[in-house]
Chains A and B, each alone.
Chain A
Amino acid sequence: DIQMTQSPSSLSASVGDRVTITCQASQDISKNLNWYQQKSGKAPKLLIYDAFNLETGVPSRFSGSASGTHFIFTISSLQPEDFATYYCQQYDNLPITFGQGTRLDI
């Protein structure tokens, strides 16, 4: 199975801050990496697909990038509604695996 190591597990930030979350894949997954946002008690929401593509309707302050097996998720300027937990997910091989999640406190 492909392991996704996501960091940090939690972080505190302020409105307007730039925030970065990373995911390291245990093997090559090409660009088959997605990022989700999950708010408390709700289903996850797709933000970024295929490493750097913004899902329709998602604000442009969210972005993704990749370098080899290292993936980066960035929020350029935090908004109050961005308080949530974020997950990376690889779908290059089954079983699909998720990172452990990053809880973002504002």
Chain B
Amino acid sequence: QVQLVESGGGVVQPGRSLRLSCAASRFPFSYYGLHWVRQAPGKGLEWVAVISSDGTNKYYADSVKGRFAISRDSSTNTLYLQMNSLTTEDTAVYYCARISWPAGAVAGPFDNWGQGTLVTVSS
């Protein structure tokens, strides 16, 4: 079955950077749009960013625009989230998720999720 495995989380000081990865397998990676969704401790789900299947279209939540960058590498089937200028408000579990529909969609049901990686921003 589809597999999404996040990595790269950890403890980082405010103002620093971190890059998250999401290794994808068991589906045609280049056919699907991919999202990052986060969840602060004890809070609800917050959408962060999306990248289209071919990587040309990228959209961000206002809360991360200008600080975070989403990208993908089809040669390694990996999704990335580069996070810069981190603040304590960015502390959360970060999930990657796949849209259920292939071929160009940037929004739709999220039919597969990774297990999440925890990012803690603290001095």
Query: What is the interface of chain A mostly: helix, strand, loop, or mixed?
Result: loop
Which residue on chain B has the smallest CB distance to residue A48? B109
Decide: B62 and A95 in contact? CB cutoff 8 A: yes
Q: What total of chain B residues lie within 8 Å of the partner, measured CB to CB?
A: 21
**What 1/0 flags go to B61-98 for Cβ under 8 Å of A?**
11000000000000000000000000000000001000
A contact residues around B46 at 8 Å (CB): 98
Decide: B44 and A95 in contact? CB cutoff 8 A: no
Residue B107 at the A interface, CB < 8 A? Answer: yes
Q: What total of chain A residues lie within 8 Å of the partner, measured CB to CB?
A: 24
What is the bound-complex CA distance between A34 and B100, given in angstroms?
12
B contact residues around A101 at 8 Å (CB): 44-45
**What 1/0 flags go to A11-43 for Cβ under 8 Å of B?**
000000000000000000000101010100011
What is the bound-complex CA distance between A99 and B45, given in angstroms?
8
What is the bound-complex CA distance between A42 and B59, given in angstroms?
26
B contact residues around A46 at 8 Å (CB): 100, 109-111
Within 8 A of A (CB), among B6-45: 35, 44-45
Q: Number of A-B pairs whose CB atoms are under 8 Å? A: 57
The 10 closest A-B CB pairs, nearest first, are A49-B109, A43-B113, A91-B107, A96-B47, A98-B45, A101-B44, A34-B109, A94-B59, A95-B61, A46-B111
- Kindly provide the distance from the CB of A23 to the nearest chain B CB, expressed in whole angstroms: 13
- Kindly provide the distance from the CB of A63 to the nearest chain B CB, expressed in whole angstroms: 16
- Kindly provide the distance from the CB of A54 to the nearest chain B CB, expressed in whole angstroms: 12
Residue B50 at the A interface, CB < 8 A? Answer: yes
B contact residues around A65 at 8 Å (CB): none
A contact residues around B106 at 8 Å (CB): 94
A contact residues around B50 at 8 Å (CB): 94, 96
Decide: A96 and B109 in contact? CB cutoff 8 A: no
